[in-house]
Amino acid sequence: MSKFLDTRTSQNASTGGSIEITLTPMTPTAIGVVGLNVTGAGGELRVTLSGIAAINLPAGPQPEGSVIVLAVVRGTALVQEALVGDVVLPLLPTDTGVKILNLTVSDYNVPYPASNELVYSLAVFSAVGGTRLGPESFYASAYSN
């Protein structure tokens, strides 16, 4: 039977249009960080994570091959090697306006941290820049055997 260990939420904006933060093109930006206390875990660690972010795209046309991405990484370094999961939205040249990205992923067989804290980050990436508008929220829960 699974044992619930911890749950955390990082929330920058609970509703749409409640923030207005410019995104730098081609630059991953952390928008949420959670630390889960896994003291007392036994057996395999499992973590469920979900996030949401809304981006207002710049006026088009969007360059060929442009994307926006919402990604979860283990830790705080926004590097490919730490990637747990992501959602990639390819942009059409005609895309404009607000795009909402949702992500739900699971991290299985997580290495047990010496500090008893598992840290995850939610990041957004836009090849074309844009504006973060909200909602922006990141949620994680940890379980073990």
Q: Read off the pTM.
A: 0.94
Q: What are the beta bridge partners of residue 115?
A: none
Q: How confident is the model at residue 1 (pLDDT cuts 50, 70, 90)?
A: confident
Q: How confident is the model at residue 143 (pLDDT cuts 50, 70, 90)?
A: very high
Q: Which of 141, 125, 23, 143 is nearest to 80 (CA)?
A: 125
Residue 127 has pLDDT above 90, yes or no: yes
